[in-house]
Amino acid sequence: MIKNDLFLKALKGETVERPPVWMMRQAGRYLPDFMKLKEKYDFFTRCRTPELATEITVMPINQIGPDAAILFSDILVIPQAMNIEVEMKPGLGPWLPNPVRTTQDVQKVIVPDVHETLGYVMDAIKMTKKELNDEVPLIGFAGSPWTILCYAVQGQGSKNFDIAKKFCFTNPAAAHTLLQKITDTTIAYLKAKVAAGVDAVQIFDSWGGMLSPTDYQIFSWYYIQQIIDALKEETHVIAFGKGCWFALDTMAKSGASALGVDWTCSPLHARYLSGGKITLQGNFDPSRLYSPPAEIKKMVHQMIDEFGKDRYIVNLGHGILPDIPVENARAFVDAVKEYKPR
């Protein structure tokens, strides 16, 4: 039995004394101890070494005290497993030297045996679960097929993913073949994560907001729905689409346990658009963690009041920024723990 099960209760829609809290990218770059490991080991070495991934995952649990842990990994381990080379370049981020741009390129992309290619992730989950000792739940995650396609085709991060969109709109057959391969791999990957011991999974559709509402349904949500359908009987699934407020009504009918909301959509609108019956997660502006701790606490309490304490998980609207002071991150978490319903 998990001792602090607030997060799981919120996902089930149960009444809680206060909402649970965790932060996207909480296992990472704003923590001084993480930066020490970063100086010693390159990014994918940290992802592929279960001992390091475990240490990084548990770090924020001990140092800032959120109600759930999220496994340290990266969404781009999936394309790596699919025969797409991915590097992480300092100062640039993801770099794919041979992007997928043609039908022939798509044919070379494989649907791998995830236990062979991504077994190190499952080892990290088992090790992390042992280290957490049932104190808090552990979240596993994957990128949405559309978001993975964006990197695979663009070859790097982008403000508009114009090359990826051009590929989809000029060669839709190849695009859908690639999306389906990513979807099949992601389903197998997340199922393996559940079998290894994660208590919930989150799908990050970081670049869903790049698409129009119509194209979102065609190139992104169609594939996310397949993942939810495959996983929802086995575990809790959180769907998070950055900039995808326009799809909240569709998402709410998907069978997901919760929906992530970014900071551009107010709590009132998020509740209205999602129908008011599903657990929502979010949506503090990550940049607001630069504010003084007292102001952060005041704003967090206001945010909880607006969302309501039940069917709600306190989080940021996207990942924590690298230069946020640790005391400010702690103030965010402490504000939730100190919250008293009015």
CB 118 within 8 A of CB 185: no
Q: Which two tokens stand for residue 280?
A: 């929502």
| Paired residues of 88 in beta bridges | 94
Binding-site annotation, residues for substrate: 25-29, 44, 74, 151, 206, 318
For the four alpha carbons of 302, 303, 307 and 312, in that order, the dihedral sign comes to negative
User: Are the C-beta atoms of residues 295 and 280 closer than 8 Å to each other?
Assistant: no
CA neighbor of 341 nearest in space, from 309, 318, 293, 315: 309
Which residue positions form the known binding site? 25-29, 44, 74, 151, 206, 318
Write down how long the chain is: 342
